[in-house]
Structure 1
Amino acid sequence: MKSVTVLTKLVIPKSLFGRLFLSVLVVAVLVVGLIWGWLDQKFYQSLDREADLRLRRIAEILVSSISSAEDREEQREKAFESFRQLEKTGGLLQNLYLIDMYADPSEFIASYSLPGVRSAQMLPPTADEAEELALNYINALDRGEMVFPDPYAYGVSRRFKIVLCPILDEFGMLESVIGIEADMEYLNLVSDFRQLLAEAVVAALILSFLIAFFLARSFAGQIELLNQSLKSVEQGRAPQRLELGVNELDRLGDGIELLAQEIEQQRAQVQRLYEQKLDELAFTGGAIAHEIRNPLSAIEMHFGLLKRQLSNLSGTQAEAATTALAEISEQLAHLRTLLENYLSYSRKVQPKIACVALKDFFDRLIASRKAVLPDFSCEVELVNVEQAWFDPTLLQQVFENLINNSVQVLDNEPAAISIRVELQAARLKILYSDKGPGIPAALREQLFTPFVSGRAGGSGFGLALIRKLAEAHGGEISYIGGETGGAAFLIEVGQHENSGGR
Structure 2
Amino acid sequence: MPFSRPSESPASVGSRRRGWLAFAGGWILVALIAALGAGEVARRDARAELARQAEAAAALHAAVLRSELEKHRSLPVALAGDPDIADLLAAPTTAQGERVDLKLENLARQTRAAVIYIIDAGGRTRAASNWRLPTSFVGADYGFRPYFINAMRSGRAEFFALGTVSGRPGLYLARRVDGADGTPLGVVVVKVEFDALEAEWRASGEPAYVVDPGGVVLITSVPEWRFRTTEPLDERRRRLTLTDQTLQPEALRPLPFATPPGDQPRLVQAQAGDGEQRWMHAAVPTETPGWTLHLLSPTRGGIDVAVAAARALAALVVTLLAGLVAFLLRRRQQGLARARAEEEARLELERRIDERTRELRDANSALNRQIEERRRAETARELLRDELVQASKLAALGQIVASVAHEINQPVAAIQTQAETAGVLLDRNDPEKARGALARIGDLTQRIGAITQELRVFSRKSDPKIGAVRLEDAIHGALLLTRGRLDEGGIDLVREGDAEVTVRADRFRLEQVIVNLLKNAAEALEGHDRPRLLLKVTRDRDRVRLIVSDNGPGVPPQVRAQLFTPFVTTRANGLGLGLVICRDIVAGFGGELDLAEGDDGATFVATLRTA
TM-score after normalising by structure 1: 0.30
TM-score after normalising by structure 2: 0.25
**If you compute each CA radius of gyration, which structure gives the higher value, 1 or 2?**
1
